[in-house]
Amino acid sequence: MFIEQAYKVKHEWWRYAIGILIVFVAAIIGQIPFTAAVLLKGGFEILNMTESEMLRVLDSNLSLFLLLLSFAVALVGMFLVIRLLHRQTIREATTSRKKVDWKRIFFGFGLVAIFTIVGTIIDYNLRPEDFLWNFRLGPFLGLAVIAILMVPLQTSLEEYVFRGYLMQGLGVLSGNRWFPLLTTSVIFGSLHLWNPEVDKLGYIIMVYYIGTGLLLGIMTLMDEGMELALGFHAGNNLVGAMLVTADWTAFQTNSILKDVSDPTGGGMELVAPILIVYPIFLFIMARTYRWKDWKHKLFGKVTPPESLKFSEEI
């Protein structure tokens, strides 16, 4: 069982508190190059800029790289916390299987990538007036290199923090599965509160972010491992960054298309997929990997493995 693996390692509550603090500090350290570059280019005027304005101070590709660098540094911090503070292997923090299943990672990636590409093509043909052709070969190739190398690091950090580290930690501390599922999803969604999309679309978009956290959490608990969530999250962000950008999104990229529509008040368009598309994703995965016992895996108790109980009794 995925959550129960935390019983086999050092899992006192204070270790998780210190671990999150270390990852947070690592992320701040990783932001120093971006802040320094923006300060050198824009001067102290950046103190009066919004996040979106700061992102436009630098070249789009450079800005994206430096932004994602902080996630890469934080991911290193996360791995050090897992290995040194908890004495846990990265595999045990990733999956309950004997080894990481890369086929599952690629399946999750491919599923959301195909949906995103097909959905974008349909959207473009239904309302072409809302898009500009933004493709320029040189900048796009630069984006492709940066995105392929760095976006999976960004999404992996978020998955290891929420669907791995905190899912296991809160699971063994609370003794059940529903608490870590709901808590990690709410925290994951709430951290997007400062995204420029919230200013543009309103707080209704928080339903989308929290709902996405629930989707990834359900994948992890039902599949007893993070592989599907790792692939799905990477595919969603990577393909999205390369296909479409907009002036009001968190990532400003040299993508193929630029959305020039005014989405104000259209947040419900992002809530609908949670009720329609996300269940379809779960259905496909459930049929593919033969998920069973939904009630226990999502709401059941978390107890130490029998082998661990036996060793403790001895």
Where along the chain do its domains lie?
3-313
State yes or no: pLDDT of 177 exceeds 90.
Answer: yes
Q: Yes or no: say if 63 and 42 are a contact pair by the CB < 8 Å rule.
A: no
Measured distance CA(213)–CA(238) in Å, rounded: 17
In total, the chain counts a number of residues equal to: 314
Q: Chain-centre distance of CA 103, in angstroms?
A: 19
Q: What are phi and psi of 12, to 5 degrees?
A: -65, 150
Q: What is the mean pLDDT of residues 259-267?
A: 72
Q: What is the mean pLDDT of residues 300-309?
A: 79
CA-nearest of 180, 159, 210 to 3 is 180
Average pLDDT over residues 16-45: 91
pLDDT at 312: 46
| Confidence check: pLDDT of 246 > 90 | no
Going by pLDDT thresholds of 50, 70 and 90, the confidence category of residue 268 is: low
For 203-226, what is each residue's pLDDT tens digit? 888 899 999 999 999 999 999 999
Q: Quick one: pLDDT at residue 168?
A: 97
pLDDT(100) > 70: yes
pLDDT-based confidence at residue 310 (cuts at 50, 70, 90): very low
Global pTM?
Answer: 0.92
- Mean of the pLDDT values across residues 84-104? 97
Predicted local confidence at residue 52, as pLDDT? 63
Grouping H, G, I as helix, E, B as strand and the rest as coil, residue 190 is: helix
Model pLDDT for residues 113-165, shown as the tens digit of each residue: 999 999 999 999 999 999 999 999 999 999 999 999 999 999 999 999 999 99
